Structure 1
């Protein structure tokens, strides 16, 4: 992930035990502590499966506020099968994409079960997203006082509510609390990366990418 360095630059105000969660198609965490370099990794699916399922079942582009998921019930057997994917058993730092988690992946697991109500599948996919985020966070950082959420998933009220339930000792907020629209954070990050490139400032974090050292990222091609 390229964004954790920006999360550190924007949200590190010398408060310990903070994490930044981006929920786009996939969910990824940045762990911010004053006494160690920022760490970052993917947790798993964010909106990608929720969007794909509602598009296939209701021809809607996304589940507004998570209302459809909230109308269903989590199916324990489906959830167990989804969580058995090898990606979730691997410790971070790690990264994934649509080549792994997609609608075909969902159908592969559904074919092994009795027919489920579509809204129950959606509820289970939301639970998968919430659980894999919280388990990733708790494994990587024993104490998290504040979780700042950005990306489209910050608007999913059902998902935000579930995260707060699963993390009772953590304050879960949108980045709006910092005056930053959650929809703008990723665009701001890449503008910051471009600025660092122009200024010759290293913008990678070896603890995130596994690089051998700090490097200036990107290239400049004059017209």
Structure 2
């Protein structure tokens, strides 16, 4: 009975850590990533937990062979060898800074004037969508385009990121909104490969002081 209780307690701790970590990595909030965590996080926990327990028993055997004595709490240790990984997964849920997000999805050279960065992400089956809006000094706008070669297009009547209204529908806390000034510039980059494709779109106002970035990977 004690072994069963240890196994259940250990698995529940591991499952919770994986699902929380996966939910936050798959979405910009726990709610956005919960569906992904239920499918992929739970499956991963079920498949990897027995492996980690097996590693725990093996490490206990090696340690006791080297020390020539039983380890303290030897009946408990193998079941909780996953704790460092579980703690790391929970620490991974700490939100990234605006500068980190900019480097990850836009460019390495972060504008000194970067401000009011808002971020939203969701992941599904074999696809991810990231939207960001931010403000900057127009003199630093070139940094937005420094990572890739973009095709520029413009419309005087304004352009709008596709599906923005659709993604915002049903999400009262959706952080991305159109600026007061119309978005008139669109900068496009695509990198298709045999298995995946990356698309980046930057939408900028006429003064290039406000930008919405849409980053898709599938």
Q: TM-score, normalised by structure 2?
A: 0.24
Q: Which has the higher contact order (CA 8 A, sep 6+)?
A: 1
Q: Going by fraction, where is strand more abundant, 1 or 2?
A: 2
In the superposition, the TM-score normalised over structure 1's length comes to 0.24
